[in-house]
A and B are shown apart, each in its own frame.
Chain A
Amino acid sequence: MPVNYYIFLSVALFCIGIAGVLTRRNAIVVFMCIELMLNAVNLLLVAFSKMHHLAGLALDPGSTAGTEAQLFVFFIMVVAAAEVTVGLAIIVMMYRNIHSVDINFLNRLKH
């Protein structure tokens, strides 16, 4: 499949994630939708990495073009894991204080 199909697939997944963020009120589900958006971007990065690699291979058979993109995806996963830890800790703390994960009550985070 050419890279266009991957672009459209990523756009579709990203927009589904945005729809989830906009339509759900459960903070955890909103957080999961953000993970989905991150994954859509990762998929696109891997697709472009492969495209770049194929273009590099056409010029030089021993080319390693495209490695950086895959490492970038790896670092995105690392940062996402750290982000999930802190985010879920905040949600658990919020649940302990106001006994709800409804984001409409999140404006009370200050007290």
Chain B
Amino acid sequence: MRRELPLAICFIMGLIMTVQFFVPHHYSQWLFDNMLKWLIIVLTFAMILGIGNLVKLHLQKVQHRRRDWLYSIVALFGVTASLVTGFGWGIEADSPFMVLYNYVQIPMQATMFSLLAFYIASAAFRTFRARTVEATLLLVAAVIVMLGRVPLEGIVGRWLPDLAEWILDYPNMAAKRGIMIGIGLGAISTALKIILGIERSWLGGGD
């Protein structure tokens, strides 16, 4: 019963939400609108589990003086600072929470992503070799799109940004659409497997 009941709930909810789409009634729309809100609320409670696990992990590291435990104090300080400022003063534009967000989180996040500019460039330098026709196409498309994004209009004219735009809009989009249709079919088949109880890994281990 500990596994069968959740499977039954999953099946019934899956069926209801699939059928709901084809029922043009305001109750059906009410269900869909509310379900989206409900799922987000359940997700927020799941986030409590996630943050709880993060805090537990770092507390254990500090308690047992494991390797790099001092950094765990920093992580715990970060969580505490966000929660205390967020719940204590709210999230208005000039609140301490938003100051923390604008001057701590945003700069670090942007810097973290910008680090990739160096690594992506060094990876490209090491691996981009025009050994085959396919590799050459990849290299040429990448170079055109990169140069097309640089303001070189005064030197080479409009043709380079236009060409980059055309590559992004047509050959690139054709490949993307093919991939997206594949993703769609894969997601739908996985969803069907979950609803029908064929895919059960989400139940986890144990009884």
Asked if chains A and B come from one complex, the reply is no
